[in-house]
Structure 1
């Protein structure tokens, strides 16, 4: 099996995830979003809640191929590469939070953004930390040790929340991670989308999220070692099913929850990701059905860059004002183009799909010119 075939399922899985991230992040109006494209209000899991952990799973899966090169390097060189990549992704996330570096004040004047209120964490920052810590665990403890360490982290996170979280440890106010982030980051540097200063990509909840990367690595390694045989596929389906079953059982005492990234949520999302990847392997590698895969493959070849560009485009929309009411370009496009033509909910969905297509065209242009930006 050649290199391209071996990577195709992963590229399609990763590309589907990136397309999903763009779609759920850019509805025409947050007041008109179909239920499956919204996050669960608190406990529970919607299709949208699968997107981010799937991306972390794909990061781990890709690591199972990339980390083979580490065997030829010294420990110091490996440490340097891991820390450099971690820092670079984290800094890009910080810059994306700060972009476009200016904003409108209450009087409509454009002023520089202040570092005093810069949100420190975010999606890219979590990807960076989970990659970095996951890679260190895998390299220095080896796969078996990394698996054991991840299990300890998941159980330890449960214990921390249960014993230190007060009378309602899995609630917004009772989550100990809230106090940790407030003490270390400060409220001004946290996300405020929940009505209070609360960061869904905060410090403490990053601990279990490492599991999505490590398990993704282990699945990718297992696939490589066993090739794309039917026996391998059956074992993969069994593993995914067991993880989902264990997660649902654990959910009875430790609720599945994305916003505090519970350990049951890790197992649940890893299980579903494993099952979905199994389907892709069966269809693409074993059945040879490759029609339509190129659309997602494009996203999978430049995933981080395309995700960053999706954020850049949205932020620029809010920077530019248009029309007699001085409306931002994002709201103007939905209110004057998509909503009048298609209605509230369909228009909002098509607005998101339009941006998926725009970013696909960017990825297609890069692929045609063999431009692949690796961070």
Structure 2
């Protein structure tokens, strides 16, 4: 690790990515402990903290990576290219399961898809010169759009929004705001986003409906998604997307609040004073969120303004605690596991989405009912984990923990070899 890395931020990022991996890979989605699921609609579970925490951490890291605030064409191109690479990586997850190759099926098709995944991963995470990075990212984006909107049957309903797509957009906007504006302007932008989004969602009626509302199918964000992303949204709903267009706007505020924390860390104040300011700010944001929740409910799918303040507040407070323990008190015992996750988030994002999809493609006769097929992922859980536990929710969690454990071994190897995968 280089001296300029802030270990507590890497640990916080590692905690977040590890939790993401666990909640995204249960043995069975029908038997999951409630805290490891997203809220049904309004409300917030521990799982609902993962995504905004990652955006918050990304925002905090921007000033640490660019402390001098030098803005020129080279810097702009670097920011744009990194955003595009994240955006394109995220879209590929949605394309992977729909790739068709010369009529291949089963394992041959899986091998072909994995070969394409390796090529795309290398193109978007490989260490090329700046111009090559930009050309590759733009070329891949154009290919995506041609496949999605070019009347190709296999890709006409492929999802376009997603987690990394939103992170890429927020990174681009937050980076430019940091380099081109003062903290006062950043604060005004944040307030305008939060108040403006609240006003839009509660005062403007979605066309075709008599009153404004925040229900799943009839809110304004759902209407915008259905208008502009029809056929390319989250498969489970078809009429709205949890990472949709309108709800991406308030997520920018999450990144900007992270910016404030990063700029505070660059401040010449003592470390203890910084930790105090962060803790107080985190508590204040959380209280304000709970008050706002009365009229604008905390909601992850809509990314409501109260949700922004709650998650940013909790993120700021948790980070202040980690900063105090690790960077002030120099207490690092037990943090190595999270550190190895925190320095290599992109490879986890990429492969943890690809590997389960590939395993689903491998199927064979079910030992319990030979007339039926079972895929490899379900087989490992059904016959390797589930029989050893009376509580199916515990079995499902153990499967996720074992999967995360395998990732920990791989990430420990990458860490030891100083192999860091970046966009």
Match of 2:59 in 1: 60
Distance in 2 (alpha carbons) for counterparts of 1:165 and 1:241: 34
Higher mean Cα deviation, 351-360 or 159-168?
159-168
Matched, 1:83 2:80: yes
Match of 1:179 in 2: 223
Q: Is 2:300 aligned against 1:300?
A: no
- More off after superposition, 260-269 vs 314-323: 314-323
Q: For 1:38-187, what aligned pairs fall within 5 Å after superposition?
A: 38-68=37-67, 70-71=69-70, 73-74=71-72, 76-102=73-99, 114-165=154-205, 167-186=211-230
Report deviation, 1:3.
5.8
Query: Is it true that 1:318 corresponds to 2:360 in the alignment?
Result: yes
CA contact (8 A) 2:203 2:212 kept: no
Cα displacement (A) at 1:151: 1.4
Deviation at 1:230, TM superposition (A): 2.3
For 1:103 and 1:327, the matched residues in 2 are separated by 21
Unaligned 5+ runs, structure 2? 114-152, 367-371
1:205 Cα shift?
Answer: 0.2
Q: 1:256·1:265 contact (CA, 8 Å) conserved in 2?
A: yes
Q: Is the 8 A contact 1:165 1:174 kept in 2?
A: no
Contact 1:61/1:218 (<8 A) preserved: yes
**Alpha-carbon deviation of 1:70?**
4.9
TM-score, normalised via structure 2 length: 0.82
Counterpart for residue 368 of structure 1: 416
SS of residue matched to 1:44: coil
User: Could you give the per-residue CA deviations for residues 151-194 of structure 1, whole angstroms, max 9, x where no partner exists?
Assistant: 111111111111223524211122211111111111x100032x
Corresponding position of 1:276: 318
Larger Rg: 2
Q: Which moved more, 1:80-89 or 1:50-59?
A: 80-89
Comparing 352-361 and 95-104, the one that deviates more: 95-104
TM-fit CA distance, 1:351: 0.7
Indicate conservation of the 8 Å contact 2:285/2:312, yes or no.
yes
In the TM superposition, 1:218-229 aligns within 5 A as 218-226=260-268, 229=271
2:388 is matched with 341
Aligned mates of 1:227, 1:306 — CA distance in 2: 35
Q: Distance in 2 between matches of 1:364 and 1:179?
A: 45
Quote the Cα distance in structure 2 between the aligned partners of 1:191 and 1:121.
Answer: 8
Pair 1:5–1:338, CA change in 2 (3 A): farther
Tell me how far 1:69 sits from its aligned partner. 5.9
Query: How many residues matched?
Result: 367
Q: Distance in 2 between matches of 1:15 and 1:191?
A: 27
- Which residue number in structure 2 is paired with residue 192 of structure 1? 235
Q: Encode CA deviations 1:197-241: one digit per residue, 9 max, x unaligned.
A: 220000100000011111112112202314563222222111111
State the match for 1:358 in structure 2.
406
Structure 2 CA distance for aligned equivalents of residues 144 and 80 of structure 1: 26
Secondary structure at the residue paired with 2:66?
helix
Given that 1:11 and 1:297 are in contact with CA atoms closer than 8 Å, whether structure 2 keeps it comes out as yes
Q: Give the match for residue 134 of structure 2.
A: none
- In the alignment, the residues of structure 1 paired with residue 332 and residue 42 of structure 2 have an alpha-carbon distance, to the nearest angstrom, of 37
The match for 1:19 is 18
| Structure 1: tracts of 5 or more residues without a match | none
CA distance in 1, matches of 2:13, 2:269: 19
Deviates more, 1:90-99 or 1:140-149: 140-149
Partner of 2:330: 288
Quickly say closer, same or farther: Cα 1:6–1:93, change in 2 above 3 A. Answer: closer
Q: In the aligned structure 2, how far is the partner of 1:271 from the partner of 1:31?
A: 32
Cα deviation 1:42-64 (Å, max 9, x = unaligned):
00001110011000011111112
Does the 8 Å contact 1:247/1:268 carry over to 2?
yes
Deviates more, 1:160-169 or 1:171-180: 160-169
Instruction: Return closer, same or farther for 1:103/1:314 CA change in 2, 3 Å cut-off.
Output: farther
Q: Secondary structure at the match of 1:117?
A: coil
